[in-house]
Structure 1
Amino acid sequence: MNAVVDFLNTILWGYVLVYGLLAVGIFFTIRLGAIQFRHFPEYFRVITGSRETSSDGISPLQALTISLASRVGTGNLAGVAVAIYLGGPGAIFWMWMVALVGMATAYAESTLAQLYKVRNGDGQYRGGPAFYMAAGVGSRAMGYAFSICLILSFGLIFSAVQANSISEAMTEAFGVPGIVTGLVIAALAGIVIFGGIRSIANVADKIVPAMAGIYLLVAIYVLAIHITEVPAMLALIVKSAFGFEQAAGGFTGGFMAALMNGVKRGLFSNEAGMGSAPNIAAAAVPDPHHPSSQGLVQGLGVFIDTLLICTATALMILLSGAVDYGPDGAQGMVLTQNALGEHIGAAGPYFIAIAILFFAFTSIIGNYSYSESAMEFLGLGGRMPLMVLKTVAMGMVIWGAVQPVSAVFNLADASMAVMATINLVAILILSKTVVTLTRDYFDQKKAGKTPLFRFKEHPGIDKGVDPTIWNRDVAQERG
């Protein structure tokens, strides 16, 4: 089993995804007319005043906060530190590149998830890559494979990984035993998760903006006291990305180390193209009522995760001088804690411990929310199958808090890679549909109208689309 997992990781991460993610992101950036640059303000406008919910689903803002809850976790603190330790400062540049082109990829996959969403037995919106693979691509086999990988990685294993990060940080800062941390986190997460998607949305809606805001304020303080060093540090990141400064600070990895670690950690952090965020994007009631508006919301999530939060972590680490590239050098969460300790003293490690507590906790509940859509697709969306999944997920939280998770994390990497590969193929197949939806949205904007979508106006987009969702009386709504 380990040999199979290692082989999959070597092939998919070493060859397929490192180049495939960048290539697909560039493809959609070109195909959609550089949407993330030309229409950047629209990424923000679609969440303005969008807090209202309906009986059908959650609000666009709640969908954003849940996807951020999943994205903003160990990847933003420990993952950035690992990227720098293994790939040098240049790894951050490739994280930026993955995010910038990833904004177009995230837009494409979440737009498709909105278009092909369905109503479950309770009348709630559900959808995601498995649904557009079955309805749009016409392959239920792709949907089944994707769903199994999603449940395995996001529904179960990543919960253990996040719990392990919380446990290590709490033990390092406060001396709290792992089992205690595990039981408390499992109990708190269970209260939220057993309440369903709306409960997760309500918690994420409150915690995520607060935790991200506080973390960025601390980063701004650190940048302010080192403002004269920031330009040189940014230049170092860019030069190191191409191997021009590979000996900086003792690092000798070069171009490929920066590229590989930056892309891998970038994907793990912002999830663009992986097919995870579309599962919650489909649960939203878009405002305006057009698939593209929710695609823009999730594209913004990639920007916030990587261009803001990951960059904040990276600059705090690099400006601290705490990076030791030797074999005994600190890495991961410990490096991030040491770095902030250099900036704000003894309070640094405690602040990072509290930050990862909230970041990783919300990742646990956000990750779980994705798996419900996969269960729905597999025909296991009933009360009892979901109860079993929730119980096992909580068990994984406790297990992850007390056991090393390196081996099982290797399995999660492979599962995530299979997910992403299948999803990238699907969105490429459906790229023409994404282009049609995008043109429809911005043509209406250009004409001064509120973008609204009726699939009957687009005879090429009707296969697998629920007419009760996208066949509303547009003329009447426009008044």
Structure 2
Amino acid sequence: MEFLKSFFGLVGDLTWGASLIPFLVIFGVFFTIVTNFVQFRFFKRMFNVLSQKSKKGKDSISGREALLLSIGGRVGGGNIAGVAVAITLGGPGAVFWMWAIALVGMATSLVECTLAQLYKRKDGKDFRGGAAFSIIHGLGNNYRWLAIAYAVCLIASFALGFNAFQGNTVAGAIQDSMGIGREYTAFFLAIVVAYIIYGGIKRIAKVADVVVPIMAVGYVLLAALVIIMNIGHVPEVLASIFKNAFGFEEAVSGGMGAAIAQGLRRGLFSNEAGLGSAPNVAATADVPHPISQGISQSLSVFIDTMVVCTCTAMIILLGTVYVPGAQNIDGVVLTQQSLVSHLGVWAKYYLTAAILLFSFSSVVYNYYLGENALSFMTKNKAYVHVLRIAVVAIVFIGAIAPGATSVFFFSDPLMGVLAIINLLALIMLFPTAMRMLQDYRKQLSKGVEEPVFNPNEFPDLDIDRDAWVTPKSK
């Protein structure tokens, strides 16, 4: 066991510690510049998906449902505890660098989700896709080994490891705030998760369509209340964020360097842009053009970091609980105590409910990532049932026995590996993504309100004609 821990520790150091964060930043800036700042130019169009219906009604998943499912996956404990940790270790300036990585990450997300849509495959009445599918159909069968390596890492890190941590987070928060035993939370989570994941991707998407707006809007409104109550101090907080970000004001040891490191790391962990996870969900949507869902997924990154993470930052920085330089407080506790200082004890229970919804949506999302990766490796449905049983059991064990999560020490290192694989594939497939973007822009320049993808115009690409039907001429 010690050998395995040392091995995965080394993998983690070589990915998250040395190469991954610089890669994600550099690639995000590169995608932003080469696409001519697409995330800013198409910002207004991102909101069109909120009223978008599937072309085939109830038989398929709309762009909005895919968007909300991905938001439910991105928005989780990292938005509450992770932001608090970033501020504790990096000072208020970490918030600025979270914003910065989110803005360039929007372009990365657009590229990876566009490719997932382009190379999606029809599976019965559903669509499947993601980085593994993009690798095999975009780069060719010679890269199947790379796609399989990606799929294995995705299952191990998201479907198994991270779900144990989510169960543990929920059970711990409920026990601390309400005194409810972990075993009761464990049973509740296991039953609800089993009901939803056994309903398949459509039930998962329908649940996300209801749960995600409630959890996100509710949390944002709570933060808005805190901001309004402290409106006079907002300029001061914003000034401290910018001063600390550029080293004009040192809040923690390490100064500007700590702010950059913590802001980038926590921002990337939270919004997942470039990690290759969200494209698995993006591919399920029934949309008129690959770029359509790419644009939508950019909005997902924006909501996760620029909205929800900012809400947590303002709750903490506008309060009196946070003490610059003090590093002996747990992330969730800092956010919880800050909220209580603003609104009273009742806010503690509200935050517990928010954590429950955030973590629950992440569990469902993480499961689907695993199922999708498994479908790439085998068509045997028996393995899907094995995965479902395993996920329910892992959520239960993670909730009832907090020490059990230490078994999943490999989760972060493997997520680093799959991110490296995803970024290498994105660079190789970037010219194809640019062809999609040029096609989309060309139709817009001709006055087409909603561009439609025509697979006949790209005969050299390995496109599933069942997933992309040639549009009828008018």
Which of 46-55 and 126-135 deviates more? 46-55
Conservation of the 8 A alpha-carbon contact between 1:452 and 1:474: no
Counterpart of 1:457?
457
Per mean C-alpha deviation after superposition, the further-off stretch among 24-33 and 87-96 is 87-96
Q: Does 1:175 align with 2:218?
A: no
Matched, 1:156 2:137: no
**Displacement after TM superposition at 1:471 (Å):** 4.3
Q: Quick one: which amino acid aligns to residue 150 of structure 1?
A: L
Name the SS of the counterpart of 2:190 in structure 1.
Answer: helix
Q: Tell me the CA shift for residue 407 of structure 1.
A: 3.3
Q: Deviations over 1:200-244 (max 9, x none)?
A: 011110010111111111111100111111122112112212332
Match of 1:238 among 236, 242, 256: 242
Alignment of 1:355 onto 2:343? no
CA distance in 1, matches of 2:242, 2:69: 32
Alpha carbons 2:456, 2:470 under 8 Å: kept: no
Q: Pick from 230, 233, 248: which aligns with 1:226?
A: 230
Corresponding residue for residue 212 of structure 1: 216
SS of equivalent residue, structure 1 residue 125 = strand
Which residue of 177, 187, 190 maps to 1:186? 190
TM-score, normalising length from structure 2? 0.95
- 1:116 aligns with one of 98, 115, 119: 119
Could you say which residue in structure 1 is the equivalent of 2:134?
132
Q: 1:255-292 CA distances to partner (integer Å, 9 max, x unpaired)?
A: 22222221221111111111011001111101xx1110
Alpha-carbon distance in 1 for matches of 2:311, 2:302: 13
Q: For 1:63 and 1:119, how far apart are their aligned partners in 2?
A: 16
1:64 aligns with 2:62: no
Change (3 A) 1:358 1:234: same
Q: Distance in 1 between matches of 2:360 and 2:25?
A: 30
Is this contact kept in 2: 1:454–1:474, CA < 8 A? no
Match of 2:40 in 1: 37
- State the Cα deviation string for residues 47-88 of structure 1 (Å, max 9, x = none): 323256547631111101110111111011111111111221
Q: 2:256 corresponds to which letter in structure 1?
A: F
CA distance in 2, matches of 1:328, 1:90: 16
Check conservation: 2:52, 2:63, Cα contact below 8 A: no
The one-letter code sitting in structure 1 at the alignment partner of 2:365 is G
> Where does residue 398 of structure 1 map in the other structure?
396
Q: What is the aligned partner in structure 1 of residue 294 from structure 2?
A: 295
CA distance in 2, matches of 1:181, 1:63: 28
Distance in 2 (alpha carbons) for counterparts of 1:190 and 1:264: 32
Closer/same/farther in 2, CA of residues 55 and 142 from structure 1, 3 Å limit: farther
Equivalent position amino acid for 1:257 in 2: A
User: Does structure 2 conserve the Cα–Cα contact (< 8 Å) formed by 1:338 and 1:348?
Assistant: no
Amino acid at match of 1:314: A
State the one-letter code of the partner of 2:343: I
Residue 421 of structure 1 corresponds to: 420
Comparing 137-146 with 108-117, greater Cα deviation is found at: 137-146
Kept after mapping to 1: 8 A contact 2:110/2:297:
yes
- Corresponding position of 2:10: 7
Q: Report if aligned partners of 2:77, 2:359 keep a CA contact under 8 Å in 1.
A: yes
2:456 is paired with a residue of what secondary structure? helix
Residue correspondences, number? 467
Per the alignment, in what secondary structure is the counterpart of residue 229 of structure 1? helix
Gaps of 5+ in 1: none
CA–CA separation in structure 2 for the residues paired with 1:332 and 1:467: 48
Deviation per CA, 1:74-120: give whole Å up to 9, x if none: 01111111111122111111111111001100000000000001112
Residue 255 (structure 2) pairs with residue 254 (structure 1)? yes
Paired AA for residue 57 in structure 1: S
Show CA shifts across 1:332-363 (max 9, x none): 11111001001101112111111101110111
**Structure 2: 5+ residue stretches without partners:** none
Identity %: 43
Give, in whole Å, the separation in 2 of the partners of 1:137 and 1:325: 49
Task: Report if aligned partners of 2:90, 2:258 keep a CA contact under 8 Å in 1.
Answer: yes
8 Å CA contact retained: 2:170, 2:359: yes
Report the CA distance shift for 1:271/1:473 in structure 2 as closer, same or farther (over 3 A): same
Query: 2:78 aligns to what?
Result: 75
Q: Give how far 1:455 is off.
A: 2.5
Distance 1:114 1:328, change over 3 A: closer
Distance 2:376 2:125 in 1: 15
CA-atom RMSD in angstroms:
1.6
Shift of 1:309: 0.3
Q: Distance in 2 between matches of 1:56 and 1:33?
A: 36
Query: Contact 2:12–2:412 at 8 Å: present in 1 too?
Result: yes
* 3-state secondary structure, aligned to 1:119: strand
Residues 287-345 of structure 1: CA deviation (Å, up to 9, x unaligned):
xx111001111111000110000000011011112124566632211111001001101
Amino acid paired to 1:19: P
| 2:107 aligns with one of 104, 116, 121 | 104
Partners of 1:328 and 1:7 in 2: CA distance: 26
Bigger Cα displacement from structure 2, 87-96 vs 320-329? 320-329
Decide whether the 8 Å contact of 1:109 with 1:278 is kept in 2.
yes
Letter of the 1:339 partner, please give it. S
Q: Structure 1 counterpart of 2:417, which letter?
A: V
Q: Is the 8 A contact 1:342 1:348 kept in 2?
A: no
1:463 CA displacement: 3.1
Change (3 A) 1:93 1:327: closer
Letter of the aligned partner of 2:64 in structure 1?
Answer: L
**Which amino acid in 2 is paired with 1:455?**
P
* TM-fit CA distance, 1:130: 0.1
Distance 1:123 1:49, change over 3 A: closer
1:44, 1:297 within 8 Å by CA — same for their partners in 2? yes
* 1:466–1:52 Cα change, 3 Å: closer
Report the alpha carbon displacement of residue 406 of structure 1 after superposing the two structures with TM: 6.0
User: Deviation at 1:405?
Assistant: 5.8
